[in-house]
Amino acid sequence: MELAIESLETPALTKAQLAELLFEQIGLNKRESKDMIDAFFDLISTSLVDGTDVKISGFGNFQIRTKAPRPGRNPRTGEAIPIRARRVVTFHASHKLKEQIQQVGQAQQPQAAATD
């Protein structure tokens, strides 16, 4: 599956591109594709907000972690500033995804060396 990235920034897969892929490869109409992608991400977001971990087999796990309050420092002034407790989302890639990323990285290394 080849994606055309129109941005000059670091390439990123967008929700619009995912909807377009559903339209092209599965045959859903564009509205259904967009609605399915929105529903998927809404479900993940709602689960995380509710404190439920999200585990996607073969991809990875999204987890909510509560960070304790800690002292911080303003780098410009050096003034001590307390950092409040907060909840953050963490992502841990599955072993399968990590292996796929490593295989692609290893396949690209000889090509990069040959072009130098």
The pTM for the full model equals: 0.71
Residue for token pair 């892929």: 21
Residue for token pair 């929700």: 15
CA angle, 7 then 8 then 14, to 5°: 30
Per-residue pLDDT of 31-82, as tens digits, reads 999 999 999 999 999 999 999 999 999 999 999 999 999 999 999 999 999 9
Give me the domains of the chain, ranges plus CATH numbers: 14-52 (4.10.520.10), 53-116 (4.10.520.10)
Per-residue pLDDT of 94-106, as tens digits, reads 999 999 999 987 8
Do residues 26 and 3 make contact, with C-beta atoms less than 8 angstroms apart? no
